[in-house]
């Protein structure tokens, strides 16, 4: 079944929709959705096609994918400090990966639209009251007295996403990327002398490499950006946005038919679209063009199907099969191998490169049980996919104080287990999907939401600066710990060496030996 067969942006409505939000005022919702359909796209077809091309490079082991950001964004966190800190952390993380892998890094942020959150129950008990569950800032409020779904929040989410994306674009086109030099990173939080020595060795090598490139003229310019100079090779990077495609009525409203950019026109599968939808395209191809027309979700470059919404006969799979955007699919322990292949048959019927990224999230103790069979089934099917590891969602626990947390040692154990199993099955891990934040508390310190890492955060310290209203995130220091670990693995792989469980980074960061 081709993606074009009997598909429209609204054909999902004939299927059961998991995680659906019930709005008491349907007329108000329809009015908001009508408004969203008229608002400009947040991203362009050319940007989406560029990402597809780069994800195909990841698939061919020519690049590495970093997918990272918040579990769920909040409207209150839409500030220039928070956005700058998040983008700065992603840039620093990717710089460390480049040092080890010597590969381009494809950067996709969970940002500029990641507001909605799935819930296991429609209601929750708070005190002695049963209230509707908090579904994210674009649905209802965190305050128990503000849990009625309000369509106006969907418009607010659009404008917060627009503001966020606008500031990201401004940062990345004005020299911000060149400011994150390794010599500016403080390693004072690292308690282990052996680990600090290892980090210092890597950062010194990375700093020397950057200084060398500038000395020979790469990235050097006669005038600064502010003085009219060019941005330079080191000063501008590609950055893409993403969110979970959870609320299909909003996704439909932001789905637009455009001609494929001319360089991709011969590669895309055309969808038949009504004549009245043939508006001018931001890709530069105007009305009446000969290029095939396809449907893009213009709210983000990349969207994914969650573990709770991937039913083969469900509305989400139906919607995702028809859009041109690259998509992610969460793969957990409940996914049967044959179900995974059938799902790929639906969402990528034409078996296009760069289309599907499989995001595994088993839990550290279940990787060995499930990942190998999934890899073998996909290889046998012939479907082209990119594999990345989400070591966060399968490893959440509740501390003795009642706070949700994750143990750093368990997180890196899932990553290293995935790396090993992929190698054993003739595959390769193409990236990581992390929930992390560069946010700082009011007193200028990193958040304290996950246990362990080089700062050896203890359970008693979780309450010091616990700021997440959703799932616990790695802080700046813990995120760089992961970056050093993955970079070290990629370097050893590049040099043809095998990792040992006695490696300094793995051992000092609390990793567990394989059973």
* 71 marked among binding-site residues: yes
Alpha helices in 364-437 (DSSP H): 367-381, 408-424
Q: In the block, which residue shows the tokens 């077809």?
A: 45
Q: Residue 222 in contact with residue 216, Cβ under 8 Å?
A: no
And the tokens for 124?
């929750």
* 471 marked among binding-site residues: yes
Q: Residue 238 in contact with residue 54, Cβ under 8 Å?
A: yes
| Cα angle for residues 94, 44, 153 (degrees, 5° grid) | 90
Say how far apart CA 82 and CA 159 lie, in whole Å. Answer: 17
* 389 marked among binding-site residues: no
* 330 marked among binding-site residues: yes
Q: Residue 87 in contact with residue 215, Cβ under 8 Å?
A: no
Say how far apart CA 399 and CA 205 lie, in whole Å. Answer: 39
Query: What distances in angstroms separate CA 276 from CA 30, 258, 273, 279, 391, one per listed residue?
Result: 21, 12, 8, 8, 45
Q: Is 496 left (phi over 0), alpha (psi -120 to 50) or beta?
A: left
* 435 marked among binding-site residues: yes
Query: What distances in angstroms separate CA 474 from CA 239, 351, 401, 457, one per listed residue?
Result: 21, 35, 19, 11
> Which DSSP symbol is given to 474?
B
Helices 476-494/193-215 angle, 10° precision: 70
> Which DSSP symbol is given to 515?
-
443 exposed, middle or buried (CB, 10 Å; 0-12, 13-18, 19+)?
exposed
Q: Residue 30 in contact with residue 155, Cβ under 8 Å?
A: no
14 exposed, middle or buried (CB, 10 Å; 0-12, 13-18, 19+)?
exposed
* 361 marked among binding-site residues: yes
Say how far apart CA 186 and CA 92 lie, in whole Å. Answer: 12
Query: What distances in angstroms separate CA 64 from CA 368, 429, 457, one per listed residue?
Result: 23, 9, 29
And the tokens for 187?
């390693």
Say how far apart CA 338 and CA 63 lie, in whole Å. Answer: 29
238 exposed, middle or buried (CB, 10 Å; 0-12, 13-18, 19+)?
middle
Q: Residue 10 in contact with residue 252, Cβ under 8 Å?
A: yes
| Cα angle for residues 192, 195, 198 (degrees, 5° grid) | 150
* 85 C-beta neighbours (distance < 10 Å), count: 17
* 50 marked among binding-site residues: no
Q: Residue 310 in contact with residue 330, Cβ under 8 Å?
A: yes
Say how far apart CA 31 and CA 306 lie, in whole Å. Answer: 28
Binding residues: 71, 110, 330, 361, 393, 435, 471
Binding residues for phosphoenolpyruvate: 110, 330, 361
Binding residues for Mn(2+): 71, 393, 435, 471
């Amino acid at each position: 079944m081709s993606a074009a067969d009997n598909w429209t942006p609204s054909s999902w409505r004939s299927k059961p929709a998991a995680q659906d939000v019930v709005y008491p005022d349907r007329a108000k919702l329809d009015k908001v959705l009508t408004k969203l359909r008229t608002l400009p796209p947040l991203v362009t077809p050319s940007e989406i096609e560029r990402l597809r091309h780069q994800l195909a490079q990841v698939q061919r082991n020519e690049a590495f994918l970093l997918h990272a950001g918040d579990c769920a964004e909040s409207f209150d966190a839409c500030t220039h400090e928070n956005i700058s800190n998040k983008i700065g952390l992603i840039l620093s993380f990717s710089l460390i990966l480049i040092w080890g892998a010597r590969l381009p890094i494809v950067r996709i942020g969970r940002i500029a639209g990641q507001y909605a959150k799935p819930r296991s129950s429609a209601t929750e008990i708070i005190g002695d009251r049963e209230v509707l569950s908090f579904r994210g800032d674009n649905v209802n409020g965190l305050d128990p007295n503000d849990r009625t779904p309000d369509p106006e929040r969907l418009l607010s989410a659009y404008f917060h996403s627009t503001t966020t994306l606008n500031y990201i674009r401004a940062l990345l086109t004005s020299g911000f990327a060149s400011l994150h030099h390794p010599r500016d990173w403080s390693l004072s939080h690292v308690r282990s002398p052996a680990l600090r020595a290892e980090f210092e060795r890597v950062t010194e090598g990375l700093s020397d490499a950057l200084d060398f490139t500038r000395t020979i003229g790469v990235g050097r310019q006669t005038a600064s950006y502010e003085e009219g100079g060019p941005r330079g090779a080191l000063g501008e990077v590609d950055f893409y946005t993403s969110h979970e495609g959870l609320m299909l009525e909003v996704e439909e409203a932001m789905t637009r038919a455009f001609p494929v950019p001319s360089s991709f026109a011969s590669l895309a599968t055309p969808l038949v679209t009504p004549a009245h939808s043939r508006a001018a395209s931001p890709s530069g191809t105007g009305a009446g063009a000969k290029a095939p027309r396809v449907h893009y979700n213009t709210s983000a470059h990349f969207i994914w199907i969650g573990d709770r919404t991937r039913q083969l006969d469900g509305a989400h799979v139906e919607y995702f099969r028809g859009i041109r955007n690259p998509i992610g699919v969460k793969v957990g322990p409940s996914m049967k191998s044959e179900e995974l292949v059938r799902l790929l048959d639906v969402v990528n019927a034409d078996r296009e490169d760069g289309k599907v990224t499989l995001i595994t999230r088993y839990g550290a103790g279940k990787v060995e049980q499930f990942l190998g069979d999934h890899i073998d089934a996909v290889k046998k099917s012939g479907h082209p996919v990119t594999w990345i590891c989400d070591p966060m969602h399968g490893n959440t626990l509740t501390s003795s104080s009642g706070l949700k947390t994750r143990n750093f040692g368990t997180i890196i154990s899932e990553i290293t287990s995935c790396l090993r199993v992929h190698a054993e099955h003739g595959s390769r891990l193409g990236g990581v999907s992390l929930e992390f934040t560069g946010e700082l508390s009011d007193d200028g310190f990193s958040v304290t939401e996950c246990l362990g890492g080089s700062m050896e955060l203890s359970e008693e310290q979780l309450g010091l600066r616990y700021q997440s209203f959703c799932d616990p995130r790695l802080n700046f220091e813990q995120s760089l710990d992961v970056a050093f670990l993955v970079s070290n693995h990629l370097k050893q792989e590049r040099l043809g060496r095998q990792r040992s469980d006695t490696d300094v980074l793995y051992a000092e960061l609390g990793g567990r030996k394989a059973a």
